[in-house]
């Protein structure tokens, strides 16, 4: 999914979990470029799987392929982008939120939105680097 200003991840104060904490919501739409990528991926998957003869009809006669709602994937990244410029990123290269001392991000959200799966090792490496940086400041 292409990064766009219109897409948002936010806390919804009107919807709270059992502990009273606002839930995370995503307000996302596909850009024309996203739709073209989805179309090309679907065509490639159909071509590659001809030998398997899968049933491509999903819910409501729409193909399930690439049709999960934006924000429903558990490997999403990029919501707290890392970078040197506070105008284009939320955190610096060590995960510290710009302009807020002692607030750090050490999860997938600092990674660029690359659409890959299973970013665990990269996330662990970044979290260790963040912890080492915090410790060096003591």
SS3 29: coil
Q: Which of 29, 75, 100, 114 is an active site residue?
A: 75
Q: What angle do CA 102, 114, 90 make, to 5 degrees?
A: 25
98 part of the active site:
no
Q: 66 Cβ partners below 8 Å, 6+ apart?
A: 38, 41, 42
Residues identified as active-site: 75
């Amino acid at each position: 999914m292409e990064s766009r200003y219109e897409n948002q991840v936010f806390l919804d104060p009107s919807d709270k979990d059992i502990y009273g904490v606002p839930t995370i919501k995503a307000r996302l739409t596909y850009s024309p470029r996203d739709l073209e990528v989805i179309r090309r991926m679907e065509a490639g998957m159909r071509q590659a799987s001809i030998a398997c003869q899968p049933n491509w009809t999903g819910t409501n006669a729409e193909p399930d392929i690439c049709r999960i709602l934006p924000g429903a994937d558990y490997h999403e990244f990029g919501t707290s982008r890392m970078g040197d410029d506070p105008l284009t990123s939320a955190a610096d290269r060590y995960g510290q939120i710009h302009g807020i001392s002692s607030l750090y991000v050490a999860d997938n959200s600092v990674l660029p939105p690359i659409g890959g799966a299973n970013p665990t090792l990269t996330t662990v490496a970044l979290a260790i680097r963040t912890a080492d940086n915090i410790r060096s400041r003591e």
